[in-house]
């Protein structure tokens, strides 16, 4: 009888854990503290069915997740300029891919339209950019960035090194913001250079503040 009991306990201990329990863990979406006069500030972060809305700046949102959690990540940014946002260039960084002999992996993607002028590189050659329908986000509206459309490519990219299930944290960074009038935010506000169709020149950030008439 005692042998039967021991075997039963051993069987219970060795029984496979349900898939949901195996994959469930905490995952985090991080957003950088935005600089003064930044055109887009964080409004909310969603991980699957969990959504957290906070005051802007320095969002770090953690929720329970499975292996494919990035498929359900969505971030909303509020347009804090007096212009209509037509496109955004973003980067996702993956801290879990960094190691003693490995650099951290990063993935860039675009939401909305990219102006032709912004596709030129420093050597004046034009880079290949896949165009998407333009966004039409007026002042104070929310620019929605969902990772779902990019997820298959993100997964393929990560799994050139490691399994997607090993990713537990990401940083989402805004690199550029494009406006419908041809201006751009690239760390600073810029407007088209009238003497060079491939370049921009510095613009006054005060001209982009809500309540300021567009010149």
Break the chain into its structural domains and give their ranges.
20-208
- Residue among 128, 92, 89 nearest 107 (CA): 92
Which string of DSSP letters, residue by residue, matches 178-196? EETTS-EESSSEEEE-TT-
Predicted TM-score (pTM) of this structure: 0.84
- Residue among 82, 84, 35, 33 nearest 206 (CA): 82
Cα separations (Å) of 72 from 45, 49, 59, 140, 145? 10, 8, 17, 24, 11
Mean pLDDT of all residues in 189-210: 95
Is there a contact between 90 and 174 (Cβ–Cβ < 8 Å)?
yes
Instruction: Give the model confidence (pLDDT) of 153-179 as tens digits.
Output: 999 999 999 999 999 999 999 999 999
Instruction: Give the model confidence (pLDDT) of 110-144 as tens digits.
Output: 999 999 989 888 878 888 887 889 999 999 999 99
State the Cα–Cα distance between residues 112 and 133, nearest whole angstrom.
Answer: 5
Mean pLDDT of all residues in 194-212: 93
Q: What sign results for the dihedral spanned by CA atoms 54, 60, 65, 66?
A: positive
Element holding 5 (H helix, E strand): helix 2-14
State the Cα–Cα distance between residues 91 and 175, nearest whole angstrom.
Answer: 7
State the Cα–Cα distance between residues 92 and 105, nearest whole angstrom.
Answer: 9
């Amino acid at each position: 009888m005692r042998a039967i009991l021991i075997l039963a306990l051993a069987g219970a201990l060795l029984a496979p854990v349900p898939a949901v329990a195996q994959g469930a863990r905490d995952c985090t979406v991080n957003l950088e503290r935005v600089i003064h006069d930044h055109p887009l500030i964080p409004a909310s972060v969603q991980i699957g069915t969990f959504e957290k809305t906070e005051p802007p700046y320095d969002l770090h949102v953690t929720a329970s997740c499975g292996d494919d959690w990035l498929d359900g990540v969505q971030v909303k940014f509020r347009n804090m300029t007096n212009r209509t946002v037509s496109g955004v260039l973003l980067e996702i960084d993956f801290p879990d891919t960094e190691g003693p002999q490995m650099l951290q992996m990063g993935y860039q993607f675009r939401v909305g339209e990219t102006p032709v002028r912004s596709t030129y590189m420093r050597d004046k050659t034009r880079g290949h950019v896949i165009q998407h329908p333009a966004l039409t986000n007026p002042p104070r509206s929310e620019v929605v960035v969902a990772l779902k459309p990019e997820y298959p490519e993100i997964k393929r990219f990560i799994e050139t090194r490691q399994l997607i299930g090993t990713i537990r944290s990401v940083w989402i960074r805004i690199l550029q913001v494009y406006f419908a009038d041809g201006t751009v935010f690239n760390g600073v506000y810029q407007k088209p250079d009238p003497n060079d169709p491939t370049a921009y020149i510095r613009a006054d950030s005060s001209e982009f503040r809500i309540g300021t008439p567009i010149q």
